[in-house]
Amino acid sequence: MRVLGIDPGLRRLGWGIIDAEGSRLRHVANGVCESEGGDDLATRLLALHRQLTEVLTRFVPQIAAVEQTFVNKDAVGTLKLGQARGVALLVPAQFGLPVGEYAPNKVKKTVVGVGHADKRQIDHMVKMQLPGVQIAGPDAADALAIAICHAHHVGPQQARIRA
């Protein structure tokens, strides 16, 4: 089962792809889709859409998962993040993929063992579970953690359905 994990962001949208065979996980690829801060919102969202579409076309995942948005004190920032998250949900849906959604604490609990892990702990545990992986940055590490979380929660039954 090929799993795509997405860590939504307007400036940097992380993505990570793993293959899961039972409890065995293998890194396929990871990276970051970026948009320019000086561009208008529509142009930024379009850039993310195009880049993420290229990822799905190239690596052909079978299922996807996206981290849920948390609400913070900055309403404008939260709204922009929500719009980037819309792209993260839309692109896999355009490819006909089922898309899971996970709260950040659920991802951390699954991958690290505690729901309030920091970025260094996530990076470390992703590297432990995917030996030899070269991670393209914190956003890509989070995306790989989301993919790992989804692989553990969806399991082999979903792979049989999508095959």
Ordered by start, the domain boundaries in the chain are 2-154
19 carries an active-site annotation: no
67 carries an active-site annotation: yes
Instruction: Using alpha carbons, list the distances in angstroms from residue 143 to 41, 46, 76, 157, 160.
Output: 23, 20, 24, 22, 23
List binding-site positions.
7, 67, 139
Using 50, 70 and 90 to split pLDDT, how confident is the model at 75?
confident
Q: Looking at the domain that runs over 2-154, which CATH code has it been given?
A: 3.30.420.10
CA distance linking residue 45 with residue 36, whole number of Å:
10
Dihedral-angle region of residue 137 (phi above 0 means left; psi in -120 to 50 means alpha; beta otherwise): left
pLDDT digits (tens, 9 = 90+) for 135-159: 999 999 999 999 999 999 986 555 4
Mean pLDDT estimate for the chain: 91
pLDDT digits (tens, 9 = 90+) for 45-56: 999 999 999 999
CA distance linking residue 117 with residue 82, whole number of Å:
23
CA distance linking residue 21 with residue 44, whole number of Å:
36
